[in-house]
Structure 1
């Protein structure tokens, strides 16, 4: 793994890109006209039509900038390593896609390191599949021109969003800015969780050794707890023809992503007549549909359990903390002398210098997910090997997916590009074939290698987390190579799980194992995910609902029934525990709450009358949720993940590998944590001023300006499929939504070219509080409403609210 890319690539860069880095400032080529038609329909959904890829990117960027320019401009500041210059070195920002909070100065050095290494330029110099397809390059070129056109038309001082109106940090962009954003998203689940740790890593000061060093077990359990705590995930169900009323495919896509920040989705319909016609959503800054459908195929994604990186433990030469041993021979770390512009308290700009270090394995780091568990010591350090550090293939993958006509064609695209960075893929087509695949960029670390190359830490993290921590002092601990892998050091598709079926496949962020319980996927490397272990409640809830409908009731699904499956807000934990909790509550008239005794009579009545759902008007939902949350906190040892609950003494029926959908189950009321959790729940509601029969309409709302919009749904950890995550604030209640159901689509194929679809973008299309589309879909979501399909021309034409044609011709 010494040097993922050859230095020769840098030499050819100018030839490959017509002028090197400065050519990344995009304008229409001489004599070229960029032109796109933009039509807005219900809820601000934009339909972009153009005759070529550059014009399509041009139109999409213009429309996207109308809705979300400020957040996007902020992200371009981030990926260029300029946050300290504009916002100060002590401030921080949150990478909402993975939940990490990063100091501006450390973040700037992290991104300056990427820029100095010219990794992105190296990738751009490569032909496909490693480098972007010509159509992708055209999309990016047009995207830059469209973004900049919007800025010129509007002018920075007149931007409608007050959060960046007149801001110095808003500027026109270059192509390299767009590719840097692509790269940031590729690393979201790998180097992106170690931005602080890479950007701050410095050699130890002689004689200064931390007084307390964490044990291997402490490191592993803290990592597990923090990784589980991110809770960003998704649900997806793909039905084949055997499971639908139409005899054709159907997809429920339900990603659980942040409601704030730049890792939101934007909804669009992109059309080049005869070449491309696709609708769905993109992450901010990506001019392609990442989750959506065309006339033949619908697909969605769920965050995969596979790891995208491995730490390497370095053995340092005594007295030389930037020299490490490989096979007994010393190797010098590569120093990178970097500079960051930084705004001081008086407004003056100064230059801060720092040297970061890389190794044959990757950059030296000291922290992951905000946990300083990997200290750089006089004799030991850690380097981070990132499988996605060489991945631009994902943009090629999504362009080809946008054009795919079947699940099998999508499987071929997955195998050919091997570019999906950190998600599972679920899809179904008009022919009635459903696909599950975790063919994603994963380090090639077979289980045997993970053990033979493990030190003390790796011997703990591998069985507990599936994360190999490898010995950096041995060259034979480099990632293995598969013959069918496009990228050296990653698993090839023959060693990754996938499944094609005509009944159904599903995933809710557990591993591949129970994508369909009738055909378990087993025998894959632990780094991809665990097998034959208890599933999360959300996974089990989805499987129970699908199998009950198909097999217990003997019915197939209509599109409406699939919508109802999601919005029934079934609380799976309640179905597992409540039948035991209510009798216990009746037999225990007084409990100890938060320090004081509380009477349980009213709580028992509320819980018994509750419909076991997290609907807006279901009395008991708030009370039970606080009970379950308190039980998790009290009964789950520090570092134990929610998916490991089978090991805890809260169940009466333990996990059974032969009945994984229905076990573990039953509440062990003899566990003293149960009484404490229920008493504390009663105290929690009393302290926050809520009645014990309070509903989510009263207790769970989202702010849009001065308006509070009630939000249904609940914690995925408790098996609510329509997941909503928002922490409880003692004495106040639930905060605004942090993440959860974001873009939801139910797409059914019924034989013609107009799929029968419903969608909802829960947090709405625009982040500009002055926009009419800042809260409109959020209000619709609050009413359990849906947006009708707007795909075929006949569906769009009658619902267009505004039409605009933009064009420009280069002199």
Structure 2
């Protein structure tokens, strides 16, 4: 599958090899990403064009992206980040930049890959050398995914009243988003099994991030070795020289996006007559004005400078909240600033590097508590010789007390609670409303590690993106600060419920083989729960007069008639999975996407209960029959419009294209309760559920255990290592994923050299 094993004599050498390998496989995406982090997209692609793929900043207009990155990732920030790193990380960063540059130089000179490699970009002027500063910018941007990045255009367009942004082509403010990955977010599954579940002396980790298939944040798999100092395997984002998820000889860890809020807003009371000064404890404070100029390529091809003046407060950058309500826009009496706890968190990569060197689960846990730096994800980990598995939402989280929430939340903050739940929106005019610091806080304004959720269990711990509450339903976690997420008030997602059932179903039998099967069998949990009662309601009516489609907002006048018989027969025969051979999964997906739009109190017969969180809600209300029939009829119409047969195999409708050939896939979206997530943003009637556009889903997957004398690791990288169509590794891993063929990954040097696909290349300069 082309997974590189980088072996070097020092940290700079390891970074050098890793930078070279990533560039060799993903040059165009990396070079495009470096333009983003430098704030140079508009210079080459124009102001209103957008990035070719989504990432943790979404797909903003280039002009907004450029101003945002230059505003929040300043030279001063990067200098501070650089100073906070140990020599090992600085060496890897310097080496990574040099290795990337070596490949760019060799490619452009024709010394390597003389064929069609990277044909889309190899001759472009924007593919150019990078510096250590560029790598640090890319790394720092990773921190901001749960805060600033979700407000990119709101920050890039924040201006005092009457001023506006001082440039043409300004974009509208984006709607609010709380999740990493935007309004819908991206997710993941992870389960750590203790020895009570595995039945032997080794715990087992299953890690399954659902992540971007394209763009600068896609994962890259590798093993990094410096004899005597580092030997770890796993994955990182493109452009990042440190493994973020992975394992070594003694420990393994994975992450899921956390429900904890990582940012807050401050409402500033402005000085009368001066909209760029605010009051703090009765004294005026001048905002920091930053005149920022970016180069913009016009339609004529001419490149011209464009300037905006953006502002920052002591809390963070000013932000335009007019997308929530025009009354919340910056006016003559009030403005809003955003504070991201991870803006001052320079410990993240140091933590991950220390984990890659850790010798035990106890050491990993101690590092996590000591650094308290993990930016916006939960952690599950296991270790050699440990009977228990570890869960922790232990990282950088704003420290706001109940008393502050009661006394500091402004009237505007209370009004925003519905759209910004658990986000502190405080009065910025009082120092009493500053985020607090505990005795064990590692960072000013952050919660101390002793008050962060964690759990050790010898059966299992898990997280599927709901809050920390049910890391194990047998031992609910409560009593932690509310900012970490709800406990007992909100229904768990269907994927979370299915994940716990999978974990519980493998009790006393959590073997590699059992987990491989369970995690790729593509069960659609909503079908298991609701298909029978739903079909009883809709199939008893031979014909439905469909008045409209709630999913698309269409109204049909006159109504469109749908015969229920054919679709009902298909769904009755369907096996309730999204495996590639299953027939009819797309019919259920279209139906449930519409059915679930009904309010929960109108849809479910048994509502959510905190006393039975894995078993509720369940059943369908008889009174929902008419609405469900309309949803069913609209779904059938959508399938008919798509050209796919009602009984088309899943892999015909869900696929990815590699070099002109469709690769059938299994899975589905979170909404329908698939644990095997393979979620296309493309409508069925617009070419099927293709993963060729801007999807997310299963990405880097690992199953790791620690038998005596070695490491047993099985991995998949669903989209393959290279996004270059000319690469031999553009589709091989994807075809293996399609076939459900996990890679038994060699780890020791003897295993690696004995692998049938082993080859060795030495690079130096």
Same-fold call, TM cutoff 0.5: yes
Kept in 2: contact 1:466–1:530 (CA 8 A): no
Scaled by the length of structure 2, the TM-score of the pair is 0.92
Render the CA deviation track for 1:555-593: whole Å, top value 9, x for unaligned: 321110011110111111111211211211332221133
Q: Pairwise mapping of residues 629-648 of structure 1 onto structure 2 (< 5 A)?
A: 629-632=593-596, 634-636=597-599, 647-648=600-601
Per the alignment, residue 216 of structure 2 pairs with 262
Task: Provide the C-alpha distance between the structure 1 equivalents of 2:717 and 2:325, rounded to a whole number of angstroms.
Answer: 33
Per the alignment, residue 589 of structure 2 pairs with 625
Per the alignment, residue 760 of structure 1 pairs with 716
Question: Is 1:346 aligned with 2:300?
Answer: yes
Task: Provide the C-alpha distance between the structure 2 equivalents of 1:604 and 1:511, rounded to a whole number of angstroms.
Answer: 37
Partner SS state of residue 331, structure 1: strand
Partner SS state of residue 452, structure 1: helix
Task: Provide the C-alpha distance between the structure 2 equivalents of 1:506 and 1:631, rounded to a whole number of angstroms.
Answer: 29
C-alpha displacement at 1:220, in angstroms?
14
**Distance change >3 Å, CA 372–CA 74, structure 1 → 2:** farther
Kept in 2: contact 1:193–1:369 (CA 8 A): no
Q: Pick which of 91-100 and 709-718 moved more.
A: 91-100
**Distance change >3 Å, CA 233–CA 115, structure 1 → 2:** closer
Q: Aligned to 1:575, which of 521, 528, 541?
A: 528
Q: Pairwise mapping of residues 539-618 of structure 1 onto structure 2 (< 5 A)?
A: 539-550=496-507, 555-593=508-546, 594=548, 595=556, 596-618=560-582
Kept in 2: contact 1:451–1:458 (CA 8 A): no
Kept in 1: contact 2:58–2:182 (CA 8 A): no
C-alpha displacement at 1:749, in angstroms?
2.0
Render the CA deviation track for 1:471-513: whole Å, top value 9, x for unaligned: 1122211100111111100111011101111110000001100
Q: Aligned to 1:191, which of 145, 148, 153?
A: 148
Task: Provide the C-alpha distance between the structure 1 equivalents of 2:128 and 2:428, rounded to a whole number of angstroms.
Answer: 43
Q: Pairwise mapping of residues 783-802 of structure 1 onto structure 2 (< 5 A)?
A: 783-799=739-755, 800-802=757-759
C-alpha displacement at 1:379, in angstroms?
2.0
Question: Is 1:324 aligned with 2:281?
Answer: no
C-alpha displacement at 1:225, in angstroms?
9.7
Kept in 2: contact 1:94–1:102 (CA 8 A): no
Q: Aligned to 1:71, which of 23, 29, 32?
A: 29
Per the alignment, residue 472 of structure 1 pairs with 428
C-alpha displacement at 1:163, in angstroms?
1.8
Per the alignment, residue 608 of structure 2 pairs with 655
For structure 2, which runs of at least 5 residues remain unmatched after alignment?
A: 166-172, 549-555
Q: Pairwise mapping of residues 217-616 of structure 1 onto structure 2 (< 5 A)?
A: 223=177, 229-366=183-320, 374-431=328-385, 432-462=387-417, 465-532=421-488, 533-550=490-507, 555-593=508-546, 594=548, 595=556, 596-616=560-580
C-alpha displacement at 1:107, in angstroms?
1.7
Kept in 2: contact 1:762–1:778 (CA 8 A): yes
C-alpha displacement at 1:276, in angstroms?
1.2
Kept in 1: contact 2:218–2:238 (CA 8 A): yes
Partner SS state of residue 286, structure 1: coil
Task: Provide the C-alpha distance between the structure 1 equivalents of 2:222 and 2:437, rounded to a whole number of angstroms.
Answer: 39
Task: Provide the C-alpha distance between the structure 2 equivalents of 1:460 and 1:290, rounded to a whole number of angstroms.
Answer: 38
Partner SS state of residue 802, structure 1: coil
Task: Provide the C-alpha distance between the structure 2 equivalents of 1:430 and 1:399, rounded to a whole number of angstroms.
Answer: 18
**Distance change >3 Å, CA 380–CA 444, structure 1 → 2:** same
Render the CA deviation track for 1:361-389: whole Å, top value 9, x for unaligned: 11111159999895212222111111111
C-alpha displacement at 1:94, in angstroms?
6.5
Partner SS state of residue 57, structure 1: helix
C-alpha displacement at 1:731, in angstroms?
3.0
**Distance change >3 Å, CA 156–CA 358, structure 1 → 2:** farther
Partner SS state of residue 635, structure 1: coil
**Distance change >3 Å, CA 223–CA 45, structure 1 → 2:** closer
Q: Pick which of 190-199 and 344-353 moved more.
A: 344-353
Task: Provide the C-alpha distance between the structure 2 equivalents of 1:351 and 1:154, rounded to a whole number of angstroms.
Answer: 31
Task: Provide the C-alpha distance between the structure 2 equivalents of 1:658 and 1:245, rounded to a whole number of angstroms.
Answer: 29
Task: Provide the C-alpha distance between the structure 2 equivalents of 1:195 and 1:380, rounded to a whole number of angstroms.
Answer: 20
C-alpha displacement at 1:61, in angstroms?
1.1
Q: Pairwise mapping of residues 134-145 of structure 1 onto structure 2 (< 5 A)?
A: 134-145=87-98
Question: Is 1:58 aligned with 2:11?
Answer: no
Task: Provide the C-alpha distance between the structure 2 equivalents of 1:404 and 1:670, rounded to a whole number of angstroms.
Answer: 57
Higher relative contact order (CA 8 A, sep 6+): 1
Task: Provide the C-alpha distance between the structure 1 equivalents of 2:289 and 2:430, rounded to a whole number of angstroms.
Answer: 22
**Distance change >3 Å, CA 674–CA 616, structure 1 → 2:** same
Question: Is 1:151 aligned with 2:99?
Answer: no
Q: Aligned to 1:173, which of 121, 124, 130?
A: 130
**Distance change >3 Å, CA 56–CA 166, structure 1 → 2:** same
- Count of equivalent residues: 735
Render the CA deviation track for 1:99-126: whole Å, top value 9, x for unaligned: 622121222122222354611112323x
Task: Provide the C-alpha distance between the structure 1 equivalents of 2:720 and 2:586, rounded to a whole number of angstroms.
Answer: 25
Scaled by the length of structure 1, the TM-score of the pair is 0.87
Kept in 2: contact 1:603–1:682 (CA 8 A): yes
For structure 1, which runs of at least 5 residues remain unmatched after alignment?
A: 1-42, 126-130, 209-218, 637-646
Partner SS state of residue 562, structure 2: strand
Partner SS state of residue 59, structure 2: strand
Q: Pairwise mapping of residues 725-764 of structure 1 onto structure 2 (< 5 A)?
A: 725-729=679-683, 731-737=685-691, 738-753=695-710, 755-764=711-720
Task: Provide the C-alpha distance between the structure 2 equivalents of 1:400 and 1:237, rounded to a whole number of angstroms.
Answer: 22
Per the alignment, residue 51 of structure 2 pairs with 93
**Distance change >3 Å, CA 343–CA 398, structure 1 → 2:** same
Partner SS state of residue 354, structure 2: helix
Kept in 1: contact 2:190–2:208 (CA 8 A): yes
Task: Provide the C-alpha distance between the structure 1 equivalents of 2:139 and 2:540, rounded to a whole number of angstroms.
Answer: 58
C-alpha displacement at 1:453, in angstroms?
1.0
Task: Provide the C-alpha distance between the structure 2 equivalents of 1:447 and 1:220, rounded to a whole number of angstroms.
Answer: 30
Kept in 1: contact 2:191–2:461 (CA 8 A): yes
**Distance change >3 Å, CA 370–CA 108, structure 1 → 2:** farther
Task: Provide the C-alpha distance between the structure 1 equivalents of 2:105 and 2:204, rounded to a whole number of angstroms.
Answer: 43
**Distance change >3 Å, CA 228–CA 154, structure 1 → 2:** closer
C-alpha displacement at 1:153, in angstroms?
2.0
Per the alignment, residue 110 of structure 1 pairs with 68
Partner SS state of residue 506, structure 1: strand
**Distance change >3 Å, CA 283–CA 373, structure 1 → 2:** farther
Kept in 2: contact 1:760–1:786 (CA 8 A): yes
Task: Provide the C-alpha distance between the structure 2 equivalents of 1:267 and 1:388, rounded to a whole number of angstroms.
Answer: 25
